Copies of this chain bind each other. A is one copy, B any other.
Amino acid sequence: MNKVAVVMGSDSDWPIMQKACLLLEQFGISFEAKVLSAHRTPELMLQFARNAKELGFSVIIAGAGGAAHLPGMLASNTILPVVGVPIKLETLDGLDSLLSIVQMPKGVPVATVAINNATNAALLVISMLAIHNDQLAKAYHNYKDAMANESVAKNANLLF
């Protein structure tokens, strides 16, 4: 079974990044969450990226804010897919985080999702893993169906 790394620049990102973990758990995907700072522990970060595959990880989800270098630097040091979650900080409304993560140069992509949307990062990982996992594909189909049902049910809330 595949394992997912959920890393973040600081524990202040945890309230956002925890949502990725909750969804992975819901789908029965094993994961490890860790604080790993591109700026404060660059060597640990590099080491982790270099060894991630050997450590049994298949994908990395990385959240960071401001001049957010963590997702891109992980991507520079592994061939595993890296999913980036731009975290909104106190200024600029997440725009700096988004651009620092998504605008990667030719050769080193980061799969960027919406600002603060760690749930979508987990879903993206699930879609990747489902390519070779029919049971997961089925679970994802069910998730989508449930989501559709919930959406329809919300009509009951349009009260004057």
Q: Please report A residues at the B interface, Cβ cutoff 8 Å.
A: 2, 9-11, 14, 18, 21-22, 33-44, 46, 53, 58-59, 65-67, 69, 72-73, 75-77, 79-83, 88, 90-96, 98-117, 119-121, 123-124, 127-132, 137, 140-141, 144, 147-148, 150-152, 154-155, 157-158, 160
Contacts and interface: CB of A to CB of B under 8 A. Distances in A.
Contacts of A132: 131-132
A48 to B, nearest CB: 12
Contacts of A154: 10-11, 35
A22 B106 CA distance: 14
- One complex includes copies of this chain to the number of 8
A35 B151 contact: yes
A69 B72 contact: yes
Most buried by B among A2, A46, A100, A141: A100
Contact of A33 (B88, B123, B147, B158): B158
Nearest to A90: B116
Given A18-B160, A105-B9, A73 B111 contact: no
